[in-house]
């Protein structure tokens, strides 16, 4: 599918005295105007300075099928989203919206593409609440317009004294960061956000769910072009059938919530104490290879916890845990020299990425290369062959992840060229690196391009 250009983001003028005219149909105008919220679960700027996020990928795939350009308009809360739709100033809202029509709102919802639960979240150094009754008299908060209030009301029918604050924060992660800092006692947030938050804030955790499962969907103006809604219904039906939707959900949530508090505390502690001395070398490795230094640091942490003297029983050594063969290939004279190890590890990962077929897109190319870093390229190819035999996509990490553990079973590894391999360990490495990378992206900045023509340059989100 050929990507279509994104028109730079605009912010609607809330103070204008006269409402602008309603937009013409996107199908006739050639541009799809989408209102959203800037957050990790919707649309955000990624490490390369490009737009990313589940909603972004869904919208762009939809617009691409229709031959439309996209203009994103960023709002601060759900109330603004619905107001903008009702006034006909946007064609759809894509922001992880609960498919529950607010009182008086004149909108229609498209098909459900994700279902979440609302969870009561607590600080793990405090007693865990077991029911709504435990929330009485406590400071309880949620994101305004998130749908949490509706679910809590249903769960609290017998506890009329239950009270809460609806916070005007940009997203659920920001809310849970404030919970982690002790600003209030409990929070209510969506399950997908809670899974992400536990990877960043080791002292928060989900206590129990409230209400029923909540479907998320795009919202359309009630008076909008019905053909656009019909096209959206066709689009979601197709991507559910062909596996595209499942792959996108896995891209953004498949690795969330994998680490325990000890793992998260470990990298955050060493990020402050050990990483500063290593950071210039990881950044030099990025300049040499083009691979985000934070991804390289995540790999190094998974391999050795940034210990330059690390040695495994199998003979791999150093911060990036290089085999003797790989070290020789990369020109390393001392595997225990952290600078040499980091540069060689980065160069080796780049070689693996470039060896994969050119048709494989990102981020699957990176995840597959990481698996090869652990297993060896030949064993990765065997895993991809097994995926193909099972009717899976050998170019998609989500599918290859299912086949790699089969390399430890005789009925499978006896049928491929290179035989036995600990494929499950490669899956474990990749999923952990993905999570450590998310943590580092949240707390560490990438070196920004200096000019507008530098690779990955994009106008920052407002």
- Annotate 299-331 with three-state secondary structure: HHHHHHCCCCCCECCCCCECCCCECHHHHHHCC
Supply the pLDDT for residue 159.
Answer: 58
CA dist 8 and 460 (Å) reads 9
Supply the pLDDT for residue 102.
Answer: 59
CA dist 327 and 317 (Å) reads 10
Supply the pLDDT for residue 155.
Answer: 66
pTM of this prediction exceeds 0.95: no
Indicate the SS3 state at residue 36: strand
Supply the pLDDT for residue 161.
Answer: 72
The answer to whether the CB of 34 falls within 8 A of the CB of 72 is: yes
Supply the pLDDT for residue 278.
Answer: 97
What are the residue ranges of helices labelled H in 218-292? 226-242, 244-253, 261-273, 275-289
Supply the pLDDT for residue 39.
Answer: 81
Supply the pLDDT for residue 186.
Answer: 94
Q: Which run of H or E residues covers position 178?
A: helix 172-180
Task: List all residues 6 or more positions away from 411 whose beta carbon is below 8 Å from its beta carbon.
Answer: none
Supply the pLDDT for residue 453.
Answer: 35
303 is catalytic: yes
CA dist 216 and 97 (Å) reads 5
Indicate the SS3 state at residue 65: helix
Q: Which residues pair with 97 in a beta bridge?
A: 217
CA dist 37 and 77 (Å) reads 7
Q: Tokens in use for 335?
A: 């595997």
Tell me which DSSP letter residue 157 carries. T
Q: Tokens in use for 438?
A: 């998310």
423 closest CA partner among 397, 399, 409, 405: 405
Supply the pLDDT for residue 352.
Answer: 97
Phi, psi of 248 (to 5 degrees): -65, -40
The burial class, CB within 10 Å (0-12 / 13-18 / 19+), for 240 is: middle
Supply the pLDDT for residue 49.
Answer: 65
Phi, psi of 395 (to 5 degrees): -100, 0
Out of 303, 324, 431, 444, the active site residue is 303
In this prediction, the residues of the chain whose per-residue pLDDT falls under 50 are 1-17, 449-462
CA dist 121 and 208 (Å) reads 8
41 closest CA partner among 193, 204, 255: 193
Q: Are strands 107-109 and 92-98 parallel, antiparallel or unpaired?
A: unpaired
């Amino acid at each position: 599918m050929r990507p279509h250009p994104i028109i730079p983001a605009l912010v609607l003028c809330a103070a204008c005295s006269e409402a602008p005219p309603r937009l013409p149909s996107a199908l006739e105008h050639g541009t799809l105007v989408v209102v959203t919220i800037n957050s990790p679960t919707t649309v955000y700027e990624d490490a390369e300075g490009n737009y990313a996020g589940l909603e972004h990928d869904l919208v762009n795939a939809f617009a691409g099928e229709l031959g439309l350009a996209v203009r994103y308009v960023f709002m601060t809360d759900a109330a603004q989203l619905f107001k903008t739709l009702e006034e006909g100033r946007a064609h759809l809202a894509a922001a992880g919206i609960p498919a529950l029509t607010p009182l008086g709102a004149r909108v229609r919802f498209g098909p459900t593409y994700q279902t979440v639960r609302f969870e009561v979240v607590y600080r793990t150094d405090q007693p865990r609440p077991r029911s709504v009754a435990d929330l009485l008299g406590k400071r309880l908060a949620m994101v305004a317009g998130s749908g949490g209030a509706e679910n809590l009301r249903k769960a609290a029918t017998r506890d009329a004294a239950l009270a809460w604050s609806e916070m005007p924060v940009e997203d659920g992660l920001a809310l849970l960061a404030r919970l982690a800092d002790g600003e209030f006692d409990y929070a209510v947030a969506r399950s997908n956000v809670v899974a992400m938050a536990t990877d960043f804030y080791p002292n928060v955790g989900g206590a129990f769910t409230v209400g029923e499962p909540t479907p998320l969907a795009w919202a359309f103006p009630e008076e909008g072009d019905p053909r656009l809604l019909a096209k959206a219904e066709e689009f979601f039906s197709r991507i559910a059938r062909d596996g595209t939707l499942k792959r996108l959900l896995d891209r953004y949530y498949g690795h969330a919530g994998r680490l325990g508090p000890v793992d998260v505390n470990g990298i955050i502690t060493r990020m402050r104490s050990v990483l500063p001395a290593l950071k210039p070398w990881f950044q030099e490795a990025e300049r040499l290879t083009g691979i985000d230094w934070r991804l390289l640091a995540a790999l190094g942490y998974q391999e050795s916890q940034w210990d330059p003297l690390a040695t495994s029983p199998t003979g791999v050594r150093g911060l990036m845990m290089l085999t003797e063969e790989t070290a020789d290939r990369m020109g390393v004279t001392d595997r225990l020299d952290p600078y040499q190890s980091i540069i060689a590890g980065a160069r080796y990962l780049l070689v693996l990425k470039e060896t994969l077929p050119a048709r494989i897109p990102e981020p699957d190319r990176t995840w597959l290369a990481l698996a090869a870093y652990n297993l060896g390229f030949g064993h990765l190819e065997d895993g991809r062959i097994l995926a193909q035999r099972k009717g899976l996509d050998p170019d998609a990490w989500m599918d290859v992840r299912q086949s790699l553990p089969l390399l430890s079973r005789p009925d499978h590894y006896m049928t491929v060229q290179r035989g036995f391999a600990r494929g499950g360990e490669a899956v474990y490495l990749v999923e952990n690196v993905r999570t450590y990378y998310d943590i580092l992206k949240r707390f560490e900045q990438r070196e920004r391009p200096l000019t507008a023509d530098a690779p990955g340059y994009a106008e920052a989100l407002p």
